[in-house]
Structure 1
Amino acid sequence: MKRLTIADIADAAGVSTGAVSYALNGKPGVSAATRERVLQIADSMGWRPSTAARALTRARTGTIGLIVDRPAQVLGIEPFFMQLVSGIEAALKADPSTALMLAVTDDRDTEVETYRRWWAERRVDGVIVVDLNDNDLRTGLLAEIGLPAVALGYPQSRDLPCVWSDDGPPTEEVVGYLAALGHRRIARVAGPVALSHTLRRDEAFTRAAQTHQLEWSKTLHADYSGDSGARAARRLLSERNRATAIIFDNDVMALAAMAAAQEMGISVPEELSILSWDDSALCQLVRPAVTALDRHITQHGVLSIETLNDVLETGTAEHRQAPPPVLMPRASTSRAPR
């Protein structure tokens, strides 16, 4: 028979696993009515608390975990995670007793097992989850084992508070910006198709292309690496009726594409406009400087710590929406060639 977990009680009571934990352990953070209802449901389901587990949950480790499931060669040059960690560390300065534990894994199964091991050994107080997929299996796992967590990505469950931003409007904005410059053939080099934010950008790009009645639009999916960005650019620029503008889902791919265009004798921005998401320092260190969407990534890191602190203090937290991205026009975009 399957062992009863607090996730089972949360489903039956219609509350978060954090609320169940606080109700069962007599801690503040839930109303008296909710506490009474949770206790009654738990009793009817045959819940028997573990005194050893209770003892363990009273102590803090002073460590927040972050696992990144990306190839090491991509992570080493990806500005997104450096900015994210910078925001996390800035938020942690308010509590010098808390540190960040970072792990890099090669696949999702290893990531899942690492969560299980960290929580079984009480090595972390909570974790920040990145790269959400739709119907992400980690949401259920974290609720099942009771590991406090916050995710960066679109909200999927009440059990997993999220820090998120709506990628639809900014995607439509950049297509409109390029269309206003006269571009009628616009391509997009996106991240992995499995990621939730990639799918939403795909949908928004398709809508925007229809709205602005482009001659054609096309999306290629890559892995955020410079090599994949350059390959995608060469493929798009080798077509007879080639794109006059390309949008990239990160700065590394955008810069690699600029180099590929130069190799092919295609001038940026006179013959090809390039635009990127994220807007790291790389965008202003190259010539021409790259037009980009500033996503306030460090702020995502700050908000993730603030949200996780709410979970650790009260057992629950609301989803938080980050500031919308801001378009930063620079020299890599110009009017479409005649």
Structure 2
Amino acid sequence: MRRPTMKDIARRAGVSESAVSFALNDRPGVSEATRERVRGVAEELGWRPSTAARALSGEGAATVGLVLARPAGTLGVESFFLRLVSGIQEVLSIRHLGLLFQIAEDVGDECAVYRRWWAERRVDGLIVVDPRRDDPRPALLDSLGLPAVVVGGLEGDVAGSAPQHCLVSNLWADDAGAMASIVEHLYVLGHRRIVHIAGLADLSHTRRRIASLTLEAERRGLAQVLSVTTDYSDTEGARATRRVLARDAPPTAIVYDNDVMAVAGAAVAAERGLSIPGDLSVVAWDDSQLCRLTHPQLTSLARDTAEFGRHAAEELLALLDGQPARRVRDVLPRLVPRESSGPAPKFPRESSGPAPK
């Protein structure tokens, strides 16, 4: 796709390019009727003024974009994205590239942001996070000609395969393998009732983690395994924990999809008089200071998230330098056993109360 220009507007409106410039810049020299006609044509063509001086001079925007379509309230307490962005910015700063950040309501809103940035020449490329089922973003960005790196495995892609879109690279970690390592750890400790307090249901990595947990449970003959999706917040993490602990056969181990929910879940266990890990083992996805400062310290999956961000930015710079798109598998997160996981209780407790509504 080609961005509409003032020349295109002039041709469609039947006026000169100078008249278009006068009309769109609110300068005198054209009639009000001509001004309205030009603006109408500009809107039809999807024209937007460039807001970057570098773009006007043909040198590019010197900016990379990042949009997060997640509940804004969950971002202030979760350290993952802050660490990811710090790694991205560390690489971009070497090339004197800025990072344009925005929060979107949903994926549709995120796509609208991309179209606007493309029309206004705001960004040279994009870091895209949270791949989803039937994700429309890679195809859209390919059609716009915007280089992008998708962070996280894309559904339908096969490990080692070539990218489906020529301008979209993919950097991913093995969520299924990471979940398998957690299940193995808990199984060896004797746990047979395992609950997974997961993140957003439509995210591809959530689906892969749930599928991996189900597969690993089937391999070991574990019948009492469950995944519950949330919005990643401490509030929903605590609510889900209360609900599963009130089951007739409550879990002896809970795996949380982030550190914030794990800490909230541990607090719920304490309020119900349960000891960790004596009555309940807790595992957090993505290690952080929060996991190490909590008592007891939380068993968690560790990876260098800032390094993950640096790798994403390096892949994007390669695209901007004319390198072909590719799929890159990042380092598998490693499980760090700490005080919050221990042997399953010999006589697992039954429910201590009704399930909260």
**Which band: TM-score by shorter chain?**
0.7 to 0.9
**What is the match of residue 331 of structure 2?**
323
**In the alignment, what sits opposite 1:272?**
280
Amino acid at match of 1:104: I
What's the CA shift string for 1:309-337, capped at 9, x where partnerless? 11111153321111110101100101111
Partner Cα distance (2:84, 2:341) in 1: 27
Q: Give the TM-score, by structure 2 length.
A: 0.77
Q: Counterparts of 1:207-286 in structure 2 under 5 Å?
A: 207-286=215-294
Q: Equivalent pairs: percent with the same residue?
A: 42
Q: 1:240 Cα deviation (Å)?
A: 2.3
Q: What amino acid is aligned across from residue 99 of structure 1 in structure 2?
A: G
Separation in 2 of the partners of 1:57 and 1:108? 32
Partner-residue secondary structure (3-state), 2:103 = strand
Partner of residue 158, structure 1? 165
Query: Which residue matches 1:64?
Result: 64
- The answer (yes or no) to whether the contact 1:190–1:220 under 8 Å persists in 2 is yes
Kindly tell me: are residues 57 and 70 of structure 1, through their superposed partners in 2, closer, same or farther at Cα, counting changes over 3 Å?
A: farther
Could you tell me which of 300, 304, 311 is aligned with 1:303?
311
Determine the structure 2 residue equivalent to 1:81. Answer: 81
Hey, what's the Cα distance between the residues in 1 that align with 2:148 and 2:170? 9
Report how many residues are paired. Answer: 286
Q: Secondary structure at the match of 2:276?
A: coil
Q: Report the Cα distance in structure 2 between the residues aligned to 1:65 and 1:88, rounded to whole angstroms.
A: 11
Secondary structure at the aligned position of 1:161 is classed as: strand
Secondary structure of the equivalent of 2:321? helix
Contact 1:189 1:248 in 2 (8 A): yes
* Cross-structure match for 1:17: none
Q: What pairs with 1:1-338 in structure 2 (closer than 5 Å)?
A: 5=1, 58-95=58-95, 97-155=96-154, 156=157, 157-159=164-166, 160-314=168-322, 316-338=324-346
SS at match of 1:257: helix
Quote the offset at 1:268 in angstroms.
Answer: 1.1
Q: Indicate if the aligned counterparts of 2:176 and 2:208 stay in contact, CA closer than 8 A.
A: yes
Is the 8 Å Cα contact of residues 67 and 103 (structure 2) preserved in structure 1? yes
Q: Which amino acid in the other structure matches residue 150 of structure 2?
A: A
Residue 57 of structure 1 deviates from its aligned partner by 9.5
- Distance in structure 2 (CA, Å) of the matches to 1:57 and 1:293: 47
C-alpha distance in 1 between matches for 2:94 and 2:218: 47
Which SS does the other structure have where 1:314 is aligned? Answer: coil
Rounded to whole Å, the distance in 2 between the matches of 1:301 and 1:209 is 32
Contact (CA 8 Å) 2:139, 2:165: kept in 1 or not? no
C-alpha displacement of 1:232 = 0.8
Partner letter of residue 289 of structure 2? A
Q: Secondary structure at the match of 1:260?
A: helix
CA contact (8 A) 1:64 1:125 kept: yes
Shift of 1:60: 2.0
Q: Distance in 2 between matches of 1:173 and 1:148?
A: 34
**In structure 2, do the counterparts of structure 1 residues 334 and 57 end up closer, same or farther at CA, with 3 Å as the change threshold?**
farther
- After superposing on structure 2, the runs of 4+ consecutive aligned residues of structure 1 that deviate more than 4 Å are 55-58
Q: Which ranges in structure 2 are unaligned for 5 or more consecutive residues? A: 3-49, 158-163, 347-357
User: How far is 1:58 from its partner?
Assistant: 4.3
**For the residues of structure 1 that align with 2:220 and 2:261, how far apart are their CA atoms?**
25
Can you give the 5+ residue segments of structure 1 that lack an aligned partner in the other structure?
Answer: 7-52
Superimposed CA distance per residue, residues 21-68 of structure 1 (whole angstroms, 9 cap, x where no aligned partner): xxxxxxxxxxxxxxxxxxxxxxxxxxxxxxxx9x86942221111001
Tell me, in whole angstroms, the C-alpha distance in 2 between the residues paired with 1:170 and 1:322: 12
CA-to-aligned-CA distance 1:192-217 (integer Å, 9 cap, x gap): 12111111111110011112222411
